[in-house]
Amino acid sequence: MGHCCSTADLAILDQRKAMSSTRLDLFKRAAPLTALLTSLIVAALLPRSWLAPLDRVGYALCHRIPQRSYFVAGRQLPVCARDTGMFGSLLLGVVLFSTFPPKQAGTARSRAARGPAMPYALVLGAGFAAWGIDGFNSYLQLLTGEPLLYKPQNWLRLTTGAWMGSALSTWFVSLFNAATWAEPHEVATVSTWRDLLRSLAAMPIVIGLTLWGADALYGPLALLSAGGALVMLSVVNGLLLLVVLGRHARHRSWRSLVLPMAAGMVLSGLQITALNLLRDALTRSLNLPF
């Protein structure tokens, strides 16, 4: 009888451990989305002048031509329409992937290290093509005064940028996982139509919020776009640092990545400062209008 009770107790203990592990896993997965939503709410409540540093991020990375940018609450967003869609959807897409990772055999694969599988890669790759075609057509009008294919529109810049950002997020995740983890999941970031819908979910959200343009959305949109650009640049710098130091593909926990990612952010700050100084100098010497 004692042996039976002991076995039952062990089963209950194992069940409790499994439940605790599941709760911890859900908490970890929800953390990026919770952090992003909290940041966006805070950005909406802050005085707009406090978000001025985001303009310097945009000034370093984007042309910021007023006619090709959106204005919210009477203020120009930190980056142009195309970059608002691209960087906003890229950041949101990565966060959504972290919260709702693909599954294989019923198990989440948050460390998927392969890009999207066919035919989903074709749908996402079309975003690259649309972004390139619309960008070339728009640039041609800037140079010659006449577009090649059609009259450029900010909503098209926003849409193709958001499509590009959503697509880019799937390859960005696979690159990050392959470059950091010692034991990444050898599965695709997109391998079902459900995965594809999750990957594209950021696109309508960013487009819808930008086109809505309510005054209260200035802070969230500014943070999502310029902040997204800064985060992604910092991650890329952090990954490059890992490669240079020969520390890539060796990590087993997020804790070990804190230092290299922090170093990547410092490098990004230095780069943005240098680009701002260079642009200021060129604007003065060439008398540029922006």
DSSP one-letter string for the chain: -HHHHHHHHHHHHHHHHHHHHHHHHHHHHHHHHHHHHHHHHHHHHS-GGGGTHHHHHHHHH----GGGS-EETTEE-SS-HHHHHHHHHHHHHHHHHHHS--EETTEE-TTEEE-PPTTHHHHHHHHHHHHHHHHHHHHHHHHHSS-SSS---HHHHHHHHHHHHHHHHHHHHHHHHHHHBSS-EEEES--SHHHHHHHHTHHHHHHHHHHH--GGGHHHHHIIIIIHHHHHHHHHHHHHHHHHTT-TT-B-SGGGGHHHHHHHHHHHHHHHHHHHHHHHHHHHHHT---
Report the DSSP beta bridge partners of residue 113.
none
- Count of domains for the chain: 1
Q: Which domain holds residue 76?
A: 51-286
Tell me, yes or no, whether 25 lies in a domain: no
In a domain, 32, yes or no: no
The answer to whether the beta carbons of residues 24 and 31 sit under 8 Å apart is no
pLDDT at 2: 47
Local mean pLDDT, 10-residue blocks, the chain (290 residues): 54 52 62 93 93 95 94 96 97 92 71 93 96 93 86 96 96 95 92 93 97 96 95 96 93 92 96 94 77
Q: Looking at the domain assignment, is residue 115 inside a domain?
A: yes
pLDDT of residue 1: 47
* pLDDT (0 to 100) of residue 142: 83
**279 falls within a domain:** yes
The answer as to whether 45 is a domain residue is: no
Q: How far apart are CA 99 and CA 218, in angstroms?
A: 25
Residue 31 lies in a domain: no
pLDDT of residue 107: 64
Q: Is residue 133 part of a domain?
A: yes
> CA 280 from chain center: how many Å?
28
For residue 30, is it within any domain? no
